[in-house]
Amino acid sequence: MKNIIVYSTAICPYCVAAKQFLGRKGLAFEEIRVDLDPAKREEMIARASGRRTVPQIFIGDAHVGGYDDLVAADRAGRLDALTGDST
């Protein structure tokens, strides 16, 4: 399974929703809090092609986007392919 990274902040309801969604799917992820480290925020913006909002979710090298994008990928059947989960 590919590494999942969620860039987030403490007070973001969409970040909470994304982390809960991934948890319900049984997917492990690494959370990077950009509110605690300005350098990580800049890293997120660079990786996300200038997007500044959180969450920004990456699966492997693929930029998924935010929470709505994550759910849309799941509904379209793309999330399993992105994660490498064949179940």
Tokens of 71: 């759910």
What's the mean pLDDT in 9-29? Answer: 97
Residue 24 to residue 37: CA distance in whole angstroms: 28
Confidence band for 84, pLDDT divided at 50, 70 and 90: confident
- Contacts for 57 with CB less than 8 Å, ≥ 6 apart: 4, 5, 6, 7, 18, 63, 64, 65, 66, 67, 69, 70
Domains of the chain: 4-83 (3.40.30.10)
Confidence band for 86, pLDDT divided at 50, 70 and 90: low
Helix 13-24 and helix 67-75: axis angle, to 10°? 30
pLDDT for the residue 9: 98
pTM: 0.93
3-class secondary structure, 4: strand
pLDDT, tens only, 25-80: 999 999 999 999 999 999 999 999 999 999 999 999 999 999 999 999 999 999 99
